[in-house]
Amino acid sequence: MERKAAFLRIYEQYAPALQRLAGAYAAAREDREDLVQEIAAALWRALPGYRAEASERTWLYRIAHNVAITAAVKQRKREKREVAPEPPLEIPSAGADAEQDLLAEEKRRMLFAAIRGLAAVDRQITVLHLEGLSGAEIEAVTGIAEGAVATRLTRIREKLRQAIRAREAGDGR
């Protein structure tokens, strides 16, 4: 009973973050949903072994990224799925707002595609950073020294910028 309550509490608190994380690994909606379920199953299995030595957040992110990287290594068709774009989202607002929303959505897609294009370690650091984890927390999750994380983040930002520019230029043609 306690395990169920702990699962529900953690999942409900982090569900949106897990969905975002899945978006950094899988482009197709069904793959993202499958990944979130896989992470949830790993969380359920790992719960009895959780000791409060590590923060709950870093513990969960370890599980989530480890499950995601295992799935990514096994998923042969990832590149193929990557090129299949999702249908545009329906945005209820109208006029200038709608246009802005569409632009933001387009940029968001480019950002996620650019993150998916990063090497796994860079992708993990980026996701953790964007989720608001500190350098020390990122070190606790990845095992990469805090100083190296900071250096890497500067390089990743530049890579993302270039990748997004390249995508924007590609779309403009």
Partner 1 sequence: MADKDELNQLWCGQTTGPPTKGEDMLTMAMERAERFDRTIKARNLRECLGAALVTAIFAFIAWKSPNALARAGDLMVAASGLWIVFFMLRYGREAPSPAADGSLADFQQALLRKYDHQIRLLNSVKYWYLLPPYVGLLLGSAGMVTANTAKGQPGWPQLIPMAIYTAVFGFIWWLNEAYGVGKLRRERARLLEEMKPAAGEAGGRG
Choose which of 28, 66, 82, 113 interacts with partner 1 (CB under 8 A).
66
> How far, in Å, CA of 171 to CA of 28, rounded?
20
> How far, in Å, CA of 59 to CA of 97, rounded?
39
Phi-psi region of 143 (alpha: psi -120 to 50; beta: other; left: phi over 0): left
DSSP-derived letter for residue 54 is S
Token reading at 100: 């802005």
Asked if 81 touches partner 1 (CB under 8 A), the answer is: no
Minimum Å gap between C-beta 83 and partner 1 is: 19
Which x/- pattern, by CB under 8 A, does the window 121-140 give for partner 1? Answer: xx-x-----xxx---x--xx
Nearby residues of 11 by Cβ (< 8 Å), 6 or more positions away: 18, 40, 43
Q: Residues interacting with partner 1, by CB under 8 A?
A: 4, 7-8, 11-12, 15-16, 18-20, 23, 32-33, 36-38, 40-46, 49-50, 54, 59, 62-63, 65-67, 69-70, 72-74, 89, 104-105, 107-108, 111-112, 119-122, 124, 130-132, 136, 139-146, 148, 152, 157, 160-161, 164-165, 168
